[in-house]
Amino acid sequence: MADRETIEIGTGSRSMLATTLRLQPLAVVGMFILAAFIVMAILAPYLAPYDPGIPDLRARLAPPVWLEGGVAGHLLGTDHLGRDMLSRLIYGSRIALLVGFFGVLCALAIGVTVGLVSGYVGGKLDAFMMGVVNSLLAIPNTLLYLTVLAVFGQSLFLLIAIIGCINWTTFARVVRAEVLTIKTREFIDAARTIGQRPAVTLIRHVLPNVMGPIIVIATMNVAMLIILEASLSFLGFGVQPPTVTWGRMLSDGRAYIATAWWLAAFPGMMITLLTLSLIFIGDWLRDRFDPRSEP
């Protein structure tokens, strides 16, 4: 049914064009925020008023400057050792972005490939890959991380790799599910009759259809990885000082919720903002890439 294919593609490119021209306001906000974080991360040493690791022993647990007890010079207050919150937040963006993006990139690369291949080829290969996926899910992540620590010592990049790569299974499964559905559609058979190579079919037809849920999950994953890092810190693993991470700040701050709420509130807000921006961007990307969305 070549007709339908032509019509679909036709509609696709028209709507893609239309969408590009129409920048949704939320997406702009999201991109703005993300850009701000990226700038913050890159220019951290110039933006931060203090060294994030230097405690001010005389100004511990100072509230933000607009509250009673606030200390001039520490805009957002200080933590339990007297370190400036604002500086720590700025530097923390580095790890957050690193962990989030590279982790997801890693997971995406592996997961999408495995899902596409597994779903399209099917049969024994599919069964085997899904078996691998299922079994990997059962091993506790903390165990993997602890071992890496023991064998290789402290390493941020190893943490990113482990966290990210553990999560490829979600992508693989979702992609595979989409592929299974799409496989049955007529235009795949049509492509085959024309003599199109499977790889080309995969990329031209399957991939765009798969983009929607993938993007949603990917944006969610970035936030999830940042929070995962926080949980690892909570459990006592995770990145150790003196590296500053929002996750560690959140975890350390939980003991002070009733007495010094700003220790945990600000990193929490940062994580929320970043997640928000990623979601807005993710939505816009989905609309842009999905040839079936309404203009």
Residue 178 beta carbon to other proteins: minimum distance, rounded to whole angstroms: 8
Residue 24 beta carbon to other proteins: minimum distance, rounded to whole angstroms: 10
Of residues 113 and 141, the one with the C-beta less far from other proteins: 141
**Closest to 246 (Cα-Cα) out of 219, 273, 221, 220:** 273
Residue 169 backbone phi and psi in degrees, to 5: -60, -35
DSSP assignment string, 271-294 = HHHHHHHHHHHHHHHHHHH-TTS-
Query: What is the distance between the alpha carbons of residues 270 and 230, in angstroms, rounded to a whole number?
Result: 13
Of residues 64 and 280, the one with the C-beta less far from other proteins: 280
Residue 84 beta carbon to other proteins: minimum distance, rounded to whole angstroms: 14
Contact 78, 62 (CB under 8 A): yes
Residue 257 beta carbon to other proteins: minimum distance, rounded to whole angstroms: 6
Of residues 100 and 195, the one with the C-beta less far from other proteins: 100
Of residues 197 and 295, the one with the C-beta less far from other proteins: 295
Sign for the CA dihedral angle at 61, 95, 161, 230 comes to positive
Cis preceding-peptide flag for 242 (omega within 30 of 0): yes
Of residues 102 and 234, the one with the C-beta less far from other proteins: 234
Determine which helix (DSSP H) or strand (DSSP E) holds 127, and give its type and residue range: helix 123-138
Residue 173 beta carbon to other proteins: minimum distance, rounded to whole angstroms: 5
Partners of residue 84 on adjacent β-strands: 78
